Amino acid sequence: MKFFGFVVVCLVGGLLLYGTADFPDWGDPDSPASTHLSDIYIEHAFEQTQVPNIVTAILADYRGFDTMFETAVIFCAGLACFLLLRDFKERKERFYRHVPTGVILHVKNSKKALRVGRDFEHIDKDWIPSDLIIKTVCRILIPFIQIYALYVVAHGDFSPGGGFQGGVIFGSSLILLAISYDLKILVRRIKEKVLGICAAAGVLVYVGIAAICMPMGKSFLDYSALEMFVFDPHHVRALGMLGVEIGVGIAVAAVMAIIYINIVSEGRHDEGL
Amino acid sequence: MDIFVICLLTIGLFFFFGGAVGIIRMPGFYTRLHPAGILDTMGILVMVVALAIYNLHQLTFESVLLTIKILLIVFFVFLSSPTATHSIVDAGMRAGLRYWTKKKEKE
């Protein structure tokens, strides 16, 4: 089976490499992209889409399909991580730490988690609580990181940024929470189910905005069909892109958290790094 | 004012240079983190403050706003960089890495 997989990888890789031989040279001024496409983007992007940031205009409007399936690919990555790694088996060994003294109780063979008072905390075998300095600083920084992530998503039309970047920053703030405290706090705050729903909902927002255009009489992903939903018909394309970027941001943030949680705890969702 | 800015930039450059030399020349893991943590933080602090002051040449509302933003960067770097160094050292201690001594080198 392994050998078969190796052959398939070699075959596909070889075909792809063979395909790249037909590409124009790197930075070739006579290539089709440089002679026709770039000029049109640079000259007409603003008047056609009303978005000052050409990169966003190209990614979310001219190449909307590409970005839509990129989002789907990221969703699939999260799904693959979940399906391959998630381990639902409950472990019987449990450890409780008495906070004031630091004594650790080891409970063998308990089906359910014991109900413990405030003085005890449920810990894992290899896990030591993080330092107070790290906890405090991360607690101060995380809200700022999250606000910055929302800014990057919302401001993607005007400055570098957009859904992917903002989503990654938001996801990294969740990961920082898991690193500085422990994984259980993150999982308790944001349930696994919520993360999964968010990842799917983000893709759905993108596809939904694209699909609404069709009953309005325009083609798939043609944001100008959304005129009746927005207050400012002049900027309808920019607002359509903003909606799409928000969907991308939600999906990427949720998938980042899913991938981190599943990899770091080997799918058990209990052990802090 | 320009002279002041140049002085600050030079001091920052000196800090960065010291940090780079320290990372290369210091023996052992923890001693290397020491210049990397302290001098980089100080260098970036001084240099960015110099830029903030340089930005105040025209005293308009926008330039003051930009200066405040630059000072925010200083604040966050000042907060996060020592914490990152601290967490690396903490991780090293927990993983059981011993600190460097002269005796150890001779062995």
Secondary structure, 3-state, A142-206 = HHHHHHHHHHHHHCCCCCCCCHHHHHHHHHHHHHHHHHHCCHHHHHHHCCHHHHHHHHHHHHHHH
Establish if B107 belongs to a structural domain: no
Query: Is A141 at the interface with chain B, CB within 8 A?
Result: yes
Instruction: Count interface pairs A-B at CB distance under 8 A.
Output: 19
Task: Note whether B90 contacts A128, CB cutoff 8 Å.
Answer: no
- Same structural domain for residues A101 and A68? no
pLDDT at A129: 64
Task: For residue A180, give the chain B residue with the closest CA.
Answer: B87
Give which of B77, B81, B86, B87 to mutate to test A binding, by max A Cβ within 10 Å: B87
Establish if B20 belongs to a structural domain: yes
Q: For all residues of chain A together, what is the average pLDDT?
A: 84
Q: At residue A110, does pLDDT exceed 90?
A: no
Residues on chain A touching B76 (C-beta within 8 angstroms)? 141, 144
Q: At residue A74, does pLDDT exceed 90?
A: yes
- Same structural domain for residues A35 and A165? yes
Name the nearest CA neighbour of A173 among A141, A137, A133. Answer: A141
Task: For residue B90, give the chain A residue with the closest CA.
Answer: A131
- Same structural domain for residues A75 and A115? no
- Same structural domain for residues A115 and A68? no
When pLDDT is averaged across residues A48-67 and rounded to a whole number, the result is 84
Q: Distance (Å) from the C-alpha of residue A146 to the closest C-alpha of chain B? A: 14
Containing domain of residue A183, as a range? 30-89+130-264
Establish if A13 belongs to a structural domain: no
Q: Distance (Å) from the C-alpha of residue A126 to the closest C-alpha of chain B? A: 11
> For chain B, where are the E strands, in sequence order?
none
Provide the Cα torsion B62, B63, B65, B66; round to 10°. Answer: 120
- Same structural domain for residues A176 and A246? yes
Residues on chain B touching A138 (C-beta within 8 angstroms)? 83
Confidence of residue B106 (pLDDT cuts 50, 70, 90): low
Give which of A132, A134, A146 to mutate to test B binding, by max B Cβ within 10 Å: A134
Cα gap A58→A30, rounded to integer Å: 21
- Same structural domain for residues A177 and A104? no
Query: Is A137 at the interface with chain B, CB within 8 A?
Result: yes
Query: Is B76 at the interface with chain A, CB within 8 A?
Result: yes
Establish if B106 belongs to a structural domain: no
- Please state the φ and ψ torsions of residue A30, each to the nearest 5 degrees: -95, 0
The two structure tokens encoding residue A65? 């399909």
Q: Dihedral of CA A251/A253/A257/A263: which sign? A: positive
Give CA angle at A181 (A113, A79), nearest 5°.
Answer: 75
Establish if B41 belongs to a structural domain: yes
Domain count, chain B: 1
Q: Distance (Å) from the C-alpha of residue B23 to the closest C-alpha of chain A? A: 23
Cα gap A26→A246, rounded to integer Å: 33
Question: Any residues with CB less than 8 A from the CB of A213 and at least 6 apart, and which?
Answer: A219, A220, A221, A222, A223, A225, A226
Confidence of residue A273 (pLDDT cuts 50, 70, 90): low
The two structure tokens encoding residue A255? 């998938």
Q: Give percent of chain A above pLDDT 70.
A: 92
Q: At residue A18, does pLDDT exceed 70?
A: yes
pLDDT at A236: 83
Domain count, chain A: 2
Contact A171, A255 (CB under 8 A): yes
Establish if A207 belongs to a structural domain: yes
Q: At residue A57, does pLDDT exceed 70?
A: yes
Q: Distance (Å) from the C-alpha of residue A242 to the closest C-alpha of chain B? A: 25
Establish if B61 belongs to a structural domain: yes
pLDDT digits (tens, 9 = 90+) for A148-159: 999 999 888 777
Establish if B18 belongs to a structural domain: yes
Contact A237, A223 (CB under 8 A): yes
- Same structural domain for residues A140 and A52? yes
Establish if B104 belongs to a structural domain: no
When pLDDT is averaged across residues A205-228 and rounded to a whole number, the result is 84
pLDDT digits (tens, 9 = 90+) for A121-138: 766 655 666 778 888 888
- Same structural domain for residues A71 and A106? no
Closest residue to A133, CB basis, from B76, B86, B94:
B86
Residue-wise over A158-174: b if at least 16 C-beta within 10 A, else e?
Answer: eeebbbbbbbbbbbbbb
Q: Give percent of chain A above pLDDT 90.
A: 30
Query: How far from each other are the two terminal CA atoms of chain A, in whole angstroms?
Result: 33
Please state, in angstroms and as integers, the Cα–Cα distance from residue A126 to each residue in A95, A176, A182, A272, following that order. 10, 19, 12, 8
The two structure tokens encoding residue B17? 């240079």
Task: Note whether A134 contacts B86, CB cutoff 8 Å.
Answer: yes
pLDDT at B107: 55
User: DSSP 3-state assignment of B85?
Assistant: helix
ipTM of this complex: 0.77
* pTM recorded for the entire structure: 0.81
Query: Is B84 at the interface with chain A, CB within 8 A?
Result: no
Establish if A212 belongs to a structural domain: yes
- Same structural domain for residues A163 and A46? yes
- Same structural domain for residues A236 and A168? yes
pLDDT at A118: 74
Strand partners, A106: A95
Name the nearest CA neighbour of B33 among B73, B103, B90, B105. Answer: B90
More confident residue, B5 or A116: B5
- Same structural domain for residues A100 and A191? no
pLDDT digits (tens, 9 = 90+) for A246-255: 999 999 999 9
User: DSSP 3-state assignment of A259?
Assistant: helix
Establish if B88 belongs to a structural domain: yes
For chain B positions 4-33, those within 8 Å of chain A (CB to CB) are none
Task: For residue A176, give the chain B residue with the closest CA.
Answer: B84
- Same structural domain for residues A119 and A209? no
Q: At residue A174, does pLDDT exceed 80?
A: yes
Count of H-run helices and E-run strands, chain A: 10, 3
Residues on chain B touching A137 (C-beta within 8 angstroms)? 79-80, 83
pLDDT at A125: 56
User: DSSP 3-state assignment of A224?
Assistant: helix
Provide the Cα torsion B31, B34, B35, B40; round to 10°. Answer: 150
Q: At residue A60, does pLDDT exceed 80?
A: yes
**How many Cα atoms occupy the beta-carbon half-sphere of A225 within 13 Å?**
14
Q: Distance (Å) from the C-alpha of residue B13 to the closest C-alpha of chain A? A: 27
Task: Note whether A137 contacts B90, CB cutoff 8 Å.
Answer: no
Containing domain of residue B66, as a range? 2-99
